[in-house]
A and B are shown apart, each in its own frame.
With several copies, the nearest count.
Chain A
């Protein structure tokens, strides 16, 4: 096995879209992220962002039958954390609208703050989604100390 060019390390998780597994995913990714020079506060931010993206896959992607969620994380050679959360669920019709603060398709139960929290706590959030095919969220973050130093 050789790691792709520019990737220093990476891990992948796969699990059924059950609410119990959200804690598993965010904790695992936070431990992986701690290989970079993140502060405890920053690791907490990563945890929140992963929790939001994985919760979305659990709540919104699949109907009542649980589907598979895949989370891949990588550390680049120059010290950036990349996290990809992928489902093969129903997808999002209009990503731009979905990303707006307080927009939710389930106003009775949800606050529509998932994407907002991801954006607040990560450097970048990219969303690719196709109705019927699924959703892929890419989160990126560098340790602030590295940003100052480098």
Chain B
């Protein structure tokens, strides 16, 4: 799994590339933690999933874990950017869409982050 991060205002955008499963979830978890630790100003987390062809329940669990950190520690919001159809189906089945929004473009994701305060 290849991971990249960028800051835009109070949002952290993490771009994932590769399959998100038990093995890569570990790297993802550590990477996001490190990025969040670097700045108190980050409130929202945008996960760019456009280059993720596969996810399973371990991957979903890793995303849920990041949601909890963002929500509890920073009262922020979690947004998924452009998940592909098979990934979207797994996210829907898992119930994660009840706490996470989906944006189709980065612009839309940033606009959603700005709105803020979605209380699930």
Contacts and interface: CB of A to CB of B under 8 A. Distances in A.
Q: Do A and B come from one complex?
A: yes
Interface string B47-89: 0000000101110110011000000000000000000011000
Given A113-B60, A113-B94, 18 more contacts: A19-B21, A19-B26, A23-B21, A44-B54, A47-B54, A51-B21, A51-B22, A51-B58, A52-B56, A55-B57, A55-B58, A59-B22, A109-B61, A110-B58, A111-B60, A111-B64, A113-B93, A117-B57
SS of A interface (majority): helix
A120 B85 CA distance: 16
B64 A48 contact: no
23 contacts: A19-B22, A20-B23, A23-B23, A41-B85, A41-B86, A47-B54, A48-B90, A51-B21, A51-B56, A51-B58, A52-B57, A55-B56, A58-B22, A110-B57, A110-B61, A111-B61, A111-B64, A111-B94, A113-B57, A113-B60, A116-B57, A117-B90, A117-B93
A104 B34 CA distance: 28
Chain B contact residues (Cβ within 8 angstroms of A): what range? 10 to 19
A111 B63 CA distance: 11
